[in-house]
Amino acid sequence: MKMKLDQQLNLLKHMLGKSKGTRYISVSSGKGGVGKTLVSINIGEILSERGKRVLIFDGDLGLSNVHLMYGIAPTKDLSDLIKGFATIEELPVKVNEHLYFISGGSGFQELADLPKERLTTIVQKLYEYAEDNFDYVVIDTPPGIHRTTVMLTSCADIPIILTTPEPTALMDAYALIKVINREEGVENFYVIINKADSYAEAKAVAESLSLMVMKYTNARVNFIGFMHYRKNLIRNVVDQKPVDKNFKEELREALINLDLEVNGKEGFWSKILKKLGV
Ligand SMILES: Nc1ncnc2c1ncn2[C@@H]1O[C@H](COP(=O)(O)OP(=O)(O)O)[C@@H](O)[C@H]1O
Ligand SMILES: [Mg+2]
């Protein structure tokens, strides 16, 4: 029986190691409130306008969730799937023809405590659902050096780190990069500066982050772009209109500097299983 389970696990790990072409983009920050959720949503909107099928995975339990920004409440979240209260097909909420989101609830934290067999079953379901239905999965991670953030960011094909020019946000971004580099060996990060006054400010901020990262870690940060601080965005979010033309245009510029066709060396879900000890 033991042998059989081990064999099954190995077979599954082999399968999950082969991505069907879905790419995983994580959006992480050291500090909350820097615009992660807004960026995740707008990346989803931009890619879906190009005809790509996009799933936003809302891993942030904070106050400004994807569903609050859109004003649509999901009835079921990842935690319900884990507890057996929902099937995977019941989780996604449709934003437009090509864009869906799934609320993580407390699911990502619960994954870590599941027995191996159950964990494997859940991860297999997520793998099949994501890889069969979507070209991109955008993951909005919890802020700070959270176990879940470290795991999701280190497994993503494209790890984006978001910060504002504020010194505290910058130091927290550095601390997050350092931990993910030291613990998980990730060497390449893509940095976007949000709420900047000018390109010059954003560039200077990105450079000082890059210098710190190069001095104290063996990682590298690639500055891919910035968004201006815009007062109206706060209003937009209150009005549940998370898409602003100018913000989106600047983000689109930043995405040009990313290789969105990148091929993950190893499947996202098999890396997740490994990090969770399977
Ligand atoms: N470029 C910007 N200019 C002005 N306000 C912004 C900008 N980006 C985000 N915000 C505002 O900052 C707040 C936090 O954004 P949010 O996306 O919820 O951050 P996070 O997910 O990192 O906590 C929201 O009120 C949002 O409208
Ligand atoms: Mg958020």
Structure token pair of residue 30: 């050291």
What b/e string do you get for 138-157 counting C-beta neighbours within 10 Å, with b at 16 or more? bbbbbbebbebbbbbbbbbb
Q: Tell me which of 29-43, 96-110, 215-229 is least confident.
A: 96-110
State how many domains the chain has.
1
The answer to whether the beta carbons of residues 59 and 108 sit under 8 Å apart is: yes
Pocket lining: 233 vs ligand 1, CB cutoff 6 Å: yes
Among all bound ligands, the one having the nearest atom to the CA of 34 is: 1
In a domain, 11, yes or no: no
Report if residue 80 sits inside a domain: yes
Q: Residue with the nearest Cα to atom 25 of ligand 1?
A: 234
Average pLDDT for 14-35: 89
Ligand 1: which of 38, 67, 198 to mutate, most ligand atoms within 8 Å of CB? 38
Give 176-195 pLDDT, tens digit per residue.
999 999 999 999 999 999 99
> Is it the case that residue 265 has pLDDT exceeding 70?
no
Higher pLDDT, 144 or 14: 144
Say what the pLDDT of residue 55 is. Answer: 97
Residues with CB under 5 A from ligand 2 (ion): 36-37, 60, 62, 64
User: Which residue minimizes the CA distance to atom 10 of ligand 1?
Assistant: 35
Answer yes or no: are the C-beta atoms of 81 and 125 closer than 8 Å. yes
Instruction: Tally the C-alpha atoms within 13 A of residue 242's C-alpha that lie toward its C-beta.
Output: 22
Other beta carbons less than 10 A from residue 86's beta carbon: 16
User: Strand 136-140's sheet: what is its strand order?
Assistant: 93-96, 99-103, 54-58, 136-140, 23-28, 158-163, 188-196, 220-228
What is the chain's mean pLDDT, rounded? Answer: 91
Provide the CATH number for the domain around residue 30.
3.40.50.300
* Residue 13, in any domain of the structure: no
Distance 154 CA to ligand 1 centre (A): 24
- Does the C-beta of 229 come closer than 6 Å to ligand 1? yes
CA-to-CA distance for 21 and 258, rounded, in angstroms? Answer: 17
Q: Which of these, 206, 190, 172, 203, lies nearest to 255 by C-alpha position?
A: 190
What is the 255 CA–ligand 1 centroid distance (Å)? 18
Residue 111's domain comprises 21-275
CB of 256 within 6 A of ligand 1: the answer is: no
Residue at 164 is within a domain: yes
Q: How far is CA 167 from the centre of its chain?
A: 23
Regarding the beta carbon of 142 and ligand 1, being less than 6 Å apart is answered no
Q: Which atom of ligand 1 is nearest to the CA of 247?
A: 1
- Ligand 1 atom at shortest distance from the alpha carbon of 140: 21
Residue 214 domain flag: yes
Residue 14 lies in a domain: no
pLDDT in tens, 227-250: 999 988 877 777 788 888 999 999
Going from the C-alpha of 12 to that of each of 31, 140, 260, the distances in angstroms are 36, 26, 27
Residue 6 lies in a domain: no
Of the two residues 144 and 87, the one the predictor is more confident about is: 87
Pick from 193, 159, 27, 164: nearest CA to 101: 27
CA dist., res. 155 & res. 120, Å (int): 16
In a domain, 233, yes or no: yes
pLDDT, tens only, 207-221: 999 999 999 999 999
